[in-house]
Structure 1
């Protein structure tokens, strides 16, 4: 292996804006047949709904979502709006809106006594039964709901169609359908504009005329449906357990040279046209204001939005839309060396995938992120923004035991930081609501907490099942601080600091001593796993001091120490955290050599559970690394070998990240290939089953981790040995070598440069390629090129000015300081 002096091989150059790349086939999903489009026909069934979600192609602007099936005799556009939920409650009092059980804290010690006495299982005096009886919420969570539908019917005979093509350009966010009937050519375009906040559709014909019937429908109660020569207006109410949600979908139709006729059923007929343009706007009455969550003038917003879109016209809207999406998509791009096959996307999948699909999947994941999370009032959910079902799987909600967090792992490294804003706004609501849950459920006077399921109405209470209790504020807070780590934006850090501090304050008061006197979290669980299954059954899940909780607590406390230092506030709070950290329950290795999932050595080597939550310090945390904590990394390897390779989509995405952090590029690639080739539907939505979008985002995060890692900090800038240079959060206990004690940092950590590890887990199959625009912690953008499996060129651009160190092939560079706007260029030579 070549040894390279990294300290001197660089030059400084002014940064320059990224070059816009021409639209390429590499970023296009393409098909030669329509998707399933009979969702609302008489044959509608669960199978047909699933079929639509697996084959229709997605559009979105972060708030408004759409899917098009490309049907010939009927085009079905499914419309979603990120705030539309049903079967929940809103407008309650401050405490009630949180969903918490008032006064539950009076029985907390009764529940905790069952833990201390080891009352496992599901008996009437068990941990689970008492938790359900005394602490669980009885309020409805509800579910994410479909919004409305746009149906466009023609008189075209599918049997007469030739040269059918359906595509989605992930670089521009434009969908297309084209086909021929006889000598006539028919084309369509679709996009969902963020600048204009509308869905836009254009039908054109050459050598024939268009005769269409355009209808709007919804699965909810309609209060108004009417049409005119240019408009269809739908007003409806989505059912809630309290205070139904009103919403409106308004459609503008320009028949160009055709004749438009409103029909009595509220639809619109267009005859003898050569071009038809459709704009669609839709809003609910939701506002993210706790506890009312109401007040938007949705009707006025629909009118204003449509009027503005009509005034601009289709061509101007399309130009603005493609410029908007391509600017985001061009920030980061993966290009792998391969010969394009020319296969349609579904055939590429059927052929078993490969490098071509792996490249497309990553770039497409970034497109999906652009579509379902931007500046909307709520973050992406289990299905991003797309849902056709009144009773979707897992409520299409916000699961805080990994899923909503995984949705946002890739936004920073894949250079879409603006997509994180909805998560921030949601966290503010949770912190406000969670104060009531902390007080009423757990008797904690400061801070906030969050259960395992959330909605858009501030639900923070404990899950109705006692076995699924958790306090998830620490994992929410991890995402919030990571966003700062990448941007180094102190104004943002000041904005979220009260949320971070509140999460820590809750645990300061909530932690309790266990058998050995160390502080642990309980009641809790290790999502979503069971222990002592032979004695107590597969639902024996409630526990104490689960490793994931303890790892996240250390992560949270260290983040709060750094944030407090950077912002120069709350020194007493910092010292409190520093005093608590050594008292936390240590991480432990067990009798099989594994990293223990619980404080007790309960792990079963035959356990293949999809959740591996006790490796959270490996990823997305930063406190286990083969470079700095070899013993813990070896224990993580044992755990990974026990759990096996294949699982659900999101789990495969997480395992890709784990193996990348363990610097095993071949294994990371094996999981990523499984995810892309065997856990993807024809439209490349993640196959859980059914669809969950976190697999798409987790897989993309795994690609970022294979190519660049920046989670380690150089606390000792003079050492060339990375183990001595990097901050280490766990130290082996000399008196008990199977225990690893938490370490509190001093203020110097806040000034420590990040270590940029280049190509830490490059897959051997990816022999050549490049990636542009990856982001690294510390405020840097990184371009990498490689050939024959070795790095050939690296450019590191400084967004804010700062220092970093590079680690590559076992060599750690000196500290490199770069001014804002300058670049570090590393040309390798033999």
Structure 2
């Protein structure tokens, strides 16, 4: 055996050793390749199991890949999260927002239809007037695929033995191995954040590799060249204005093999024992409003691929594993179960297990850091992975829950870095939304955002009048909650203009209703209908929908706190404080439910997937079994009406709802349904089709079962949580079923967060532990439990902070911690 063959054998042994010592709690395993139905096919709403549902994902936040593990042909799907098509960029600042130019009289005409109760869809209705005057006619566009890399082996799948395909979510390493004849073949894949490349290594023992590598794209007019050991693909994503240009370089190191470029742009490798493939790709997108152009993508491709190839496979892999594992190791869930030895698709098909629930949580964290880190835009409806030129729902940014849900688990699950793309995108929306606020609604202060967003600053109202909404308040809830967890004052300074701008918009947008209270309109309650028998299932536009009113209270309260902490805008703070009691109250309806609208229109047989009027329960903080008993009971009635089974993301949200209602067994039942009945074989969320928000919502639900920190103590001397906690709604003395918003005292800005330990621990998880959960107030928490009871927790401060602990129905005194200090609870004797 020559020296190279010996070195290659050692590499193979090391690779197998890495696989052998992998923590099985993190590993997705399969005994067959993915189903590859993508080549030449585009089915954005395909109901069958195909590539997207069975291939395994990798990503570094901007650059993404999936591998199929195909025996005869490996298919790498490549994505760049900034690559969009079918929209416009480079327009003037107002036009780039997509806004409709509306006169004050036209806007008043629309509002009059609401005041007159013009329901339904006929001419003159709320919907038809909103479509006519407010809805944008500009193209939103859609997220676009990047490229496909195909690696043909010439191997016959029917002759293969001992096939294994896996993805280790702790290390971000994908592997494939099998035997054929006398040979053993292995592959390793990863997508590096430190070096911004996709890397694959093929190796053969007792045989040789004869590969053909090609790169293609679904975009028309692309050009591919094979030069020596490199494939260069250049192309354009078609836009209505200003096509997006992109480039990809695939560089091949075959060491002892022969490399031959082909006239068709492919490369053939002959008689190699090991082949390493490096891939870099970029488009010309920059997050600069309104041009969204200017990246030197060609130079970036060349610089990145050169740096990667100089470092080599082992150095790149070492840096990648250290990077991913350092983030994954921050938070670790350990439920008590005996490993089954089943493959992941078998676990899903078996109907659920603790093993699957444990894996699903870790995998969701892996997906989070893979599709949201270091990019100027957040994860979209499919996170980062898309194969279609016409994906379902444009694979865009829906702001009526989806993009927000994508970020619920980021801080609790200790992946705060993943939140940065959401912040950068919000800055662009606030800049663009100034024009939408002014041109569409005649509001000269603040910014506005509609239902759908893209990477080009689209903030206009949806093209359908029944889907007109505001969403700045919900986006700002995510922004402020990140501060609540981190307590980073510099970050608060950064986002304060966005918070203030959103609040300024609503100060002007709110208008008095019949009873004189201030309501949001035009609006809807996503995506639900009312008075269906009278006006049809498309009767959706409304006024004062409960979700809007709850979020406006949330926004005003957060803005008051931010301005207090930063010591600015006292006059504006006073404006918000004066407006809060005038907001439309929350109401309990005829069935004992929390009303979805200010009118008692709720139907107890309505099982709609959106339950937006419980936003104050989750992800908000203003309804709690511990502090708002009557609103809590009304929320229970609403949850009973809506039922348990739904789409993937809705199932994830219901897991969070039941956790906040402190019903751990019900939360677990739904989480179990999510992980088994709403998961594809590769554990992507089954909406259907694939949407990634269910993965993130489910992981957020696990965090909520084990730790909650949204309540705050405003009374340091109180001995009970009912007396200690701030309550945002008080009963109307004249209307006992109405609950009026409460103006927060400025002392709320210094109020300690209350850490509720194991608030919804399910009986199905009697023994276990979780390390590295984050709590609001700049805290990190480890928890252990046995026989359903807390045995020990460790709480560490990442900032100087005060806190209180609520565990086993008891509230601690205020505890002060300096940065770096920790305590155990219950305290050791």
Question: TM-score normalised to the size of structure 2?
Answer: 0.97
1:614 paired to 2:613: yes
1:340 maps onto 2:336 in alignment? no
- Structure 2 residue aligned with 1:805: 804
Whether the 8 Å contact between 1:228 and 1:261 is mirrored in structure 2 is no
Q: Distance in 1 between matches of 2:47 and 2:521?
A: 44
CA–CA separation in structure 1 for the residues paired with 2:42 and 2:566: 60
In 2, are the aligned partners of 1:38 and 1:48 still within 8 Å (CA)? no
* Gap change, CA 1:45 and 1:326, over 3 Å in 2: closer
Task: Write out aligned runs for 1:365-514 (5 A).
Answer: 365-514=364-513
Q: CA–CA distance in 2 between the matches of 1:705 and 1:826?
A: 19
Q: Could you report, residue by residue, the CA deviation over 1:162-221 in whole angstroms, capped at 9, with x for unpaired residues?
A: 000000000000000000002210000000000010000000000000000000000002
Structure 1 residues 525, 158: closer, same or farther in 2, change over 3 A?
A: same
Separation in structure 1 between the aligned mates of residue 636 and residue 556 of structure 2, nearest angstrom: 26
Partner of 2:635: 636
Distance (Å, rounded) in 2 between the aligned partners of 1:429 and 1:45: 28
Q: Which structure 2 residues correspond to residues 107-506 of structure 1 after superposition, within 5 A?
A: 107-506=106-505
CA contact (8 A) 2:521 2:544 kept: yes
Check the 8 A contact 2:224/2:232 in 1, yes or no. Answer: yes
CA shift, 1:222, in A, is 3.4
User: 1:245 Cα deviation (Å)?
Assistant: 0.4
SS of 1:278 mapped into structure 2 = strand
CA pair 477-115 structure 1, distance change in 2 beyond 3 A: same
Residue correspondence of structure 1 range 756-795 to structure 2 within 5 A: 756-795=755-794
Q: Separation in 2 of the partners of 1:471 and 1:826?
A: 43
8 Å Cα contact 1:80-1:147 kept in structure 2: yes
**Which residue is equivalent to 2:566?**
567
Contact between 2:45 and 2:689, CA under 8 Å: does it hold in 1? no
Q: Distance in 1 between matches of 2:44 and 2:803?
A: 56
Equivalenced residues, count: 810
Deviation at residue 228 of structure 1 after TM alignment: 1.8
Matched with 2:14 is none
Alpha-carbon distance between aligned partners in 2 of 1:42 and 1:671, rounded to the nearest angstrom: 34
How far residue 224 of structure 1 moved from its aligned partner, in angstroms, is 2.6
Measured in 2, the distance between the counterparts of 1:657 and 1:106 equals 43
Cα contact 2:528–2:610 (8 A) shared by 1: yes
In structure 2, runs of 5+ residues without a counterpart are 1-19
Partner of 1:40: 39
Closer, same or farther in 2 for the Cα pair 1:291/1:50, shift >3 Å?
farther
Deviation of residue 38 (structure 1)? 3.8
Distance 1:564 1:46 in 2: 46
Q: Aligned partners of 2:828 and 2:661: how far apart in 1?
A: 28
Q: Does 1:67 align with 2:79?
A: no
Stretches of 4+ aligned residues off by more than 6 angstroms: 42-46
Q: Which residue of 1 aligns with 2:53?
A: 54
Q: Distance in 2 between matches of 1:186 and 1:42?
A: 29
How far residue 50 of structure 1 moved from its aligned partner, in angstroms, is 5.5
Taking only aligned residues, the RMSD between alpha carbons, in angstroms, comes to: 1.3
Distance 1:38 1:398 in 2: 26
Whole-Å separation in 2 of the counterparts to 1:182 and 1:554: 68
Contact 2:97/2:436 (<8 A) preserved: yes
- Matches for 1:734-749 after TM superposition, within 5 Å: 734-749=733-748
Does the C-alpha gap of structure 1 residues 775 and 42 become closer, same or farther in structure 2, counting only changes over 3 Å? closer
The Cα of 1:47 is off from its aligned counterpart by 4.8
Give secondary structure in 2 for the equivalent of 1:222. Answer: coil
Structure 1 residue 810: Cα displacement: 1.1
Could you tell me whether the CA contact under 8 Å between 2:45 and 2:391 is conserved in 1? no
The residue that corresponds to 1:664 in the other structure is: 663
Q: In structure 2, do the counterparts of structure 1 residues 287 and 95 end up closer, same or farther at CA, with 3 Å as the change threshold?
A: same
Q: What are the equivalent positions in structure 2 for 1:648-727 lying under 5 Å apart?
A: 648-727=647-726
Deviations 1:215-249 (A, max 9, x none): 00000023431012210000000000111100001
| Contact 1:69 1:76 (C-alpha < 8 Å) held by counterparts | yes
Alignment partners' CA distance in 2, 1:803 and 1:77? 49
Does 100-109 or 64-73 show the bigger shift? 100-109
Alpha-carbon separation, structure 2, partners of 1:611 and 1:745: 29
Task: Provide, for residues 695-731 of structure 1, a one-character-per-residue CA deviation record: whole Å limited to 9, x for no partner.
Answer: 0000000000000000000000110111110000000
Residue 375 of structure 1 and its aligned partner are, at CA, apart by: 1.3
Give 3-state SS (helix, strand or coil) of 2:33's partner. coil
CA distance in 2, matches of 1:810, 1:46: 48
Aligned to 1:26: 25
Structure 1: how far apart are the matches of 2:436 and 2:21? 52
- Post-superposition offset of 1:42: 7.9
Distance 1:522 1:156, change over 3 A: same
TM-aligned CA deviation for residue 735 of structure 1: 1.2
8 Å contact kept, 2:550–2:616: yes
Q: What SS does structure 2 have at the residue aligned with 1:221?
A: coil
Aligned counterparts of 2:655 and 2:47: Cα–Cα separation in 1: 32
Deviation at 1:103, TM superposition (A): 2.9
Residues 84, 146 of structure 1: 8 Å contact kept: yes
Is the CA contact (8 Å cut-off) linking 2:228 and 2:259 kept in structure 1?
yes
8 Å Cα contact 2:31-2:164 kept in structure 1: yes
CA drift of 1:41 comes to 5.4
Question: C-alpha deviations, 1:309-328, integer Å up to 9, x for none?
Answer: 01111000000000000000
- Change in CA separation of 1:31 and 1:811 when aligned onto 2, cut-off 3 Å: same
TM-score scaled by length of structure 1: 0.97
Q: Deviations over 1:538-594 (max 9, x none)?
A: 000000000000000000000000000000001111100000000000000000000
Over 3 Å counting, the alpha-carbon distance change for 1:45 and 1:415 in structure 2 is closer
Instruction: Answer whether contact 2:409 2:700 (CA < 8 A) is retained.
Output: yes
Q: Distance in 2 between matches of 1:406 and 1:183?
A: 50
Give yes or no for contact 1:230–1:253 (8 Å, CA) kept in 2: yes
Q: Distance in 1 between matches of 2:377 and 2:510?
A: 31
